[in-house]
Structure 1
Amino acid sequence: MTTRTTQTTVAFSSPFLLPGFDQPQPAGDYLVDHDEEAIEGPSHIAWLRVAAFIHLPAVGVRSTTRRMVPITPGDLDAALEKDRK
């Protein structure tokens, strides 16, 4: 099965908390990886998102440790929408 990972950057203007996080994260730009699997049809290929991960800490923050935390795209979208208000 064919898989791909795409990476985007999301921006938070205020601290945010996603389900599963033990503490709020500060405002900033964060990298998000989306893992997808190909679904091949007779005339086209579609991509199904199977996982998403946010990189902690934010882009540009100096840290001796970095980690990728699994998230759900819906939770991320809700947090970004809340941040915009």
Structure 2
Amino acid sequence: MTVRSSESVVTFTHPFRISGYSEELPEGDYMVVVEEELLQGLSFEAYRRTGTYLTVQGRGNRADSSETRPVTQKALEAALDRDRMLAAENDNSSA
């Protein structure tokens, strides 16, 4: 089985919550890792997503540590959409 992973950075401009986790996370840049596996038996190359992970930096006494949390793509996109909506509201209110 062939597995690949890709990394990207997402930026939140407001504190946010991710579905499935209770605490609010601070604004900032977060690393996202997506893992996919090659689908076998097709006449073309295709991959299926097997996991999405958000890296969260520790705070306070644990500022030097990080935690990789499994998240759904849907939950991540919803949090980013809420953040963009808040940013747009702030832009409109300052105009």
Offset, 1:19? 1.7
Q: Count residues in correspondence.
A: 81
In 2, the alpha carbon distance for the partners of 1:9 and 1:48 equals 21
Q: Normalized against structure 1, the TM-score is what?
A: 0.87
Superposition map of 1:3-82 within 5 A: 3-40=3-40, 41-42=42-43, 44-57=44-57, 63-82=63-82
Structure 1 residues not aligned, in runs of 5+: none
Offset, 1:22? 2.9
Larger relative contact order (CA 8 Å, sep ≥ 6)? 1
In 2, the alpha carbon distance for the partners of 1:26 and 1:66 equals 14
Larger Rg: 2
Structure 2 residues not aligned, in runs of 5+: 86-95
Q: Which has the higher helix share?
A: 2
In 2, the alpha carbon distance for the partners of 1:65 and 1:29 equals 15
Tell me the SS of whatever aligns to 1:80.
helix
Q: Which has the higher strand share?
A: 1
In 2, the alpha carbon distance for the partners of 1:63 and 1:4 equals 29
Cα RMSD between the aligned structures?
1.6
Q: Normalized against structure 2, the TM-score is what?
A: 0.79
